Amino acid sequence: MCGIIGFVGLRQARPILIDGLRRLEYRGYDSAGLATLSEGRLLVHRRVGRVSELASAVPADLAGATGIAHTRWATHGGVTQANAHPHTDSLGRIAVVHNGIVENMAALKARLVAEGAVFRSETDSEVIAHLIAHFYDGFGPLGDSIMPDVAGDPVAAVRTAMARVRGTWGVAVVFADQPDIIVAARNGSPLVVGLGEGETFLASDSHALTPYTRRVVYLQDRELALLSREGVQTFLLDGGEANPTVHELEEEWGDSEKGDFPNFMLKEIHDQPDALRQCLGGRILAEEGTAKLGGLDLSPRRVMEVSRVGFIGCGTAYHACMVGAAAVEQLARVPATAEIASEYRYRNPVIDPRSLHFAVSQSGETADTLGATREIELKGGEIMGIVNVVGSSIARTCGKGVYIHSGPEMAVASTKAFTNMIAAMYLFALQMGRTRALSPSQGREFAEALRAVPDLVERYLKDPGPIDAAVTAVIKAKNVLFLGRGVSAAVAAEGALKLMEVAYVPCIAYPSGEMKHGPIALLEPGSPVIVIAPDDALKDKTLSNLQESRARGAFIVLITSEGDEYSEMGDVNIVVPRTHELLSPLLTVLPLQLLAYQAGLALGRDIDRPRNLAKSVTVE
């Protein structure tokens, strides 16, 4: 959450900062701000709203070849100009942008206020600016002693201050009397330094750097960096220098322009056939009826030893995990579970060292999923990534894993990452299944069906059926109920999440069998119920629940597969191409993505940037 960009060089910083913020805006878009350094002064501009508001407010000729900038997703303090970053110390000599949360804000603030610091915002981040100023001025931890080694030394001041901050941070700091440097520090919130020719960049996300350089240094937790025109020096928060490793960013990983589409969400829905081809390409071994995921580095012997599989993620990634767990149990006959990362990390989980875990994340930066990853490692478990963003924190922390190859997903609502996460998990389930349970012909049958899916997705998207009629039913509803069984229960959950986040329509999703244990009380004449019932072993049971809803006057939107004799049972009937029953989520989720998209459009929502959300959730 929140995006940081920084630049130190010889050219004007403003265009680089604004361009960087635009690339990072998906991380948060409540407000934005920047600070540049010119003639011993900090020039700070902040605005509520999108980066475009800031860009119009900042003079085109804004001076300064060193600067930092930030796009905010509010945590502490409302969405106001005063709470936008950068924050400065009382005298306006030090400016700070911060991603993360200061957990001991109250104690630090009380002490700084007692010493005379003047706070101008409600944020936790402002504490950092005052604390750094306190040490930069040479005061000791209690304000009474003097620290001559720290006074006037930007790195020492940031190090001494951040050692007293509890919580998570990625910070960038500029000093009015140090015109050619930025000091950065990281603990739990990613920062990456970009190395140019005579200029150096900083960003919370390496994508923001690709127009300028491909040579990067990822800061590690509890490291600091001193950026100058000459490059970067890194230090350990606890003392001493660190050894920066320079990485080469991969070639541009896809097109992040909207093309002819009105927004990213619709484009990304239509990207799915090609994105799936990218994910599956070269990984299916048709002849042997299995799959090969090189990044997992799993020998058949290790596969045989696995006692359980756990898939861990948040939001849409969690729904993908539900499908993945079902696929592993069915194909490999190994116990498998889907876990919500924010719950998992704090419940002191029992980790069997023979089990295998997967951290599933589009961004690779989700704080809870990263936290769960670390907890599993700490307990001696084995965890691998199923991640989209190459080089992201989860990918690097896990070391091993599978890239899902969706290409950049810019819309906050996840679509093509969902289908590619599932596709990657099917590949793993097939690989494991073929080693442990499936015959060659069973393996080949599943592999063939999986390979055919991208064409089926493409065919459906060309003629998606009566989505408009479903939109009419949901946009005026008090609430919408989504029902499905087995893997379709995960699709129901994903459909509800999508409609809530894009159209702000209240939704609930239940495994169909649970409906009569509570949610049925919501049904009134005309209540929309979306039933996902492709032709599988559970369809008859789901259809009984459909009848129970209809008996209470519900308006049924039914999603089935081609050729199902019950395809006309709904008030609105949407038919998707037929596939292997375990693979149906790759098809049945498509009308739900389109439903959310079109409902959002009909209600005038901001499709790509729904209110209150951010693409990358880097705080707990």
Stretch of 359-367, 455-463, 549-557, 596-604 contacting ligand M6R, by CB under 6 A: 359-367
Helices (H), 82-209: 105-114, 125-136, 154-162
Other CB atoms within a 10 A radius of the CB of residue 528 amount to 27
Min dist. Cβ of residue 536 to ligand M6R (A): 25
Answer for the pair 199, 229: CB distance below 8 angstroms, yes or no: yes
Residue 548, C-beta contacts closer than 8 angstroms, at least 6 positions apart: 515, 516, 520
Residue 112: partners with Cβ closer than 8 Å, 6 or more residues away: 119, 127, 130, 131, 134
Q: Contact region for ligand M6R (CB under 6 A) — 311-319, 376-384, 548-556, 562-570?
A: 311-319
Whether 507 is catalytic is no
Nearer to ligand M6R, 205 or 501 (CB): 501
Binders in 475-514 for ligand M6R, by CB under 6 A: 497, 501
Question: Between 361 and 545, whose beta carbon lies closer to ligand M6R?
Answer: 361
Amino acid at 588: T
Q: Residue 587 is encoded by which pair of tokens?
A: 């098809």
- Between 153 and 205, name the residue whose CB sits nearer to ligand M6R: 205
Position 393 contacts ligand M6R (CB under 6 A): no
Contact residue for ligand M6R among 366, 435, 573, 598 (CB under 6 A):
366
Q: Determine the interface stretch with ligand M6R among 224-232, 362-370, 458-466, 469-477 (rule: CB under 6 A).
A: 362-370
Task: Give the interface segment with ligand M6R, choosing from 196-204, 346-354, 409-417, 442-450 (CB under 6 A).
Answer: 409-417
- Which run of H or of E encompasses 356? strand 356-361
CB-nearer residue toward ligand M6R: 393 or 545? 393
Name residues whose C-beta falls within 8 Å of residue 262's C-beta, 6 or more positions apart in sequence: none
- Distance, in Å, from the CA atom of 113 to the CA atom of 79, rounded to the nearest integer, reads 23
CB of 17 or CB of 384, closer to ligand M6R:
384
- Whole-number minimum distance, CB 371 to ligand M6R, in Å? 12
Determine contact, residues 394/361, Cβ cutoff 8 Å: yes
Q: Is 406 in the site for ligand M6R (CB under 6 A)?
A: no
What is the torsion angle, in degrees rounded to the nearest 10, for the CA atoms of residue 233, residue 239, residue 243 and residue 249?
-70
Question: Which range in 69-77, 284-292, 407-415, 461-469 contacts ligand M6R by CB under 6 A?
Answer: 407-415
The one segment of 61-69, 241-249, 313-321, 593-601 that binds ligand M6R by CB under 6 A: 313-321
| Closer residue to ligand M6R, CB minimum distance, 363 or 573 | 363
Using CB under 6 A, pick the residue from 334, 413, 432, 538 that binds ligand M6R.
413
Q: Cα–Cα distance between 552 and 43 in angstroms, integer?
A: 63
Q: Is 166 helix (H, G, I), strand (E, B) or coil?
A: coil
Q: Note the helical H segments in 281-314.
A: 300-305
List the structure tokens of 239: 């003392």
Tell the smallest beta-carbon distance from residue 368 to ligand M6R (Å): 8
CB of 394 to ligand M6R, least distance (A): 8
Site for ligand M6R in 511-540 (CB under 6 A): none
Residues whose CB is less than 8 angstroms from the CB of residue 86 and which lie 6 or more positions away in sequence, other chains included: 33, 34, 35, 44, 46, 68, 69, 70, 95, 96, 97, 129
Q: Which of 362, 393, 545, 584 binds ligand M6R (CB under 6 A)?
A: 362
498 is catalytic: no
Do 559 and 591 form a contact (C-beta atoms < 8 A)? yes
Q: For ligand M6R, what does the binding mask look like between residues 271 and 310, x meaning CB under 6 A?
A: ----------------------------------------
Among 31, 361, 549, 560, binds ligand M6R (CB under 6 A): 361
Least distance in angstroms from the C-beta of 127 to ligand M6R? 27
Residue nearest to ligand M6R (CB): 315
The pair of three-digit structure tokens given for residue 513, joined into one six-digit string? 């069998």
Strands 401-403 and 167-175: unpaired
Picking from 448, 531, 526, the residue whose alpha carbon sits closest to that of residue 485 is 531
Q: Could you count the other beta carbons within 10 Å of the beta carbon of residue 424?
A: 29
Find the binding residues for ligand M6R in span 314-343 (CB under 6 A).
314-317
Which residue, 265 or 523, has its beta carbon nearer to ligand M6R? Answer: 265
Q: Say if residue 21 is exposed, middle or buried (CB neighbours under 10 Å; 0-12, 13-18, 19+).
A: buried
Q: Which residues are part of the catalytic machinery?
A: 2, 615
Residues that bind ligand M6R (CB under 6 A): 314-317, 361-363, 366, 369, 412-414, 497, 501, 616-617
